[in-house]
Amino acid sequence: MEENRNMKSVFQVTGRIVSGLSKTLDTSEGKATLANLRNSIGKPLSETVDIWPLVFSNLPDEFLSASGHVTHEEEAILTALQLYAVHQQGSRVSVSLLEKTDEWENMGKSLSYLRSQDSTAIDRRFNTMITATDFEELIHHLRQMIKLLKAKEQGKVNYARLAEDLYWFSRGYPESVRIRWTQSYYRTQKPKDKGDIENA
C-alpha cells in the first residue's frame, strides 16, 4: 500500500510542479527556473543551489532524504523536471500533457510520433534506450530522444506519468516500464474503414 501511495504522489507532485511552470513560460522568473533546471543536469543535487527552492518547497516530507542520499522520489521527480526543461526550451506553448488520459499515454506513446519520417533510425534509438541496464543509461538515451521531439516539434509528454515510471524503474521494476513503453511505442492506431465511419 505504501508503494501505491508513493506512486500516486510522485505523479501528483510532478504534475503540480509542471503545471505551475507551464503558467510562467512567458515570465523572466519562469525562463530562469527552466534554465536552472537544464543547468542542473549531470550535477549532484547538493550542488544545484538554484533549483533547491523549486524542489524542496514542493516535495512532501516523506519524499525527502533523512540520510543524505537522494531518495527514489527525489531522483524521479527531479529527472522528469530536467527533461521537461530541455523539451520546453524555446517554446512558448507547454510541451507537457497535464492530465493522465489513458494507459497508453506514456513515454513510448510520445516517442512514437517520431516514427513517421524515418522509423528504422528512430526504432534503433528507441530500442537502445529501452534496453538500458541502469537508470543513468536510460536517462542519457531518453534525453537524446526528448531533444529529437523538441527539434521536430512533434508530440507532447506526460511528465507526471514519466516521473511515476522513472520512480518504478529506479525502485527495481524496469521490466514493467520497458513493456509498457514498448507496447505504446509500437502500437498503431488503425484508421476506421469507410464503412465503419458511415455506420458509426
* Sign of the CA dihedral running 168, 15, 60, 76: positive
pLDDT of residue 68: 80
pLDDT of residue 195: 47
Q: Which CATH architecture has domain 2-187?
A: Orthogonal Bundle (1.10)
Percent of the chain predicted with pLDDT > 70: 86
Q: Please, which contacts does 120-129 make with residues 24 or more away whose CB atoms are closer than 8 Å?
A: 122/148, 126/185
pLDDT of residue 200: 40
Reported as a single tens digit per residue, the pLDDT across 56-91 is 999 998 998 888 889 999 999 999 999 999 999 988
Please give the backbone phi and psi of residue 157, each rounded to the nearest 5 degrees, phi first. Answer: -125, 135
* Sign of the CA dihedral running 187, 182, 14, 84: negative
Which residues are bridge partners to 96 per DSSP? 157
Average pLDDT for 164-189: 92
pLDDT of residue 31: 95
Which residues are bridge partners to 157 per DSSP? 96
pLDDT of residue 101: 58
Domain extents for the chain? 2-187
Helix (H) or strand (E) holding 119: helix 119-130
Cα–Cα distance list, 38 to 81, 82, 121, 141 (Å): 9, 6, 27, 16
pLDDT at 121 over 50: yes
Average pLDDT for 35-58: 93
Residue 192 banded pLDDT, cuts 50, 70, 90:
very low
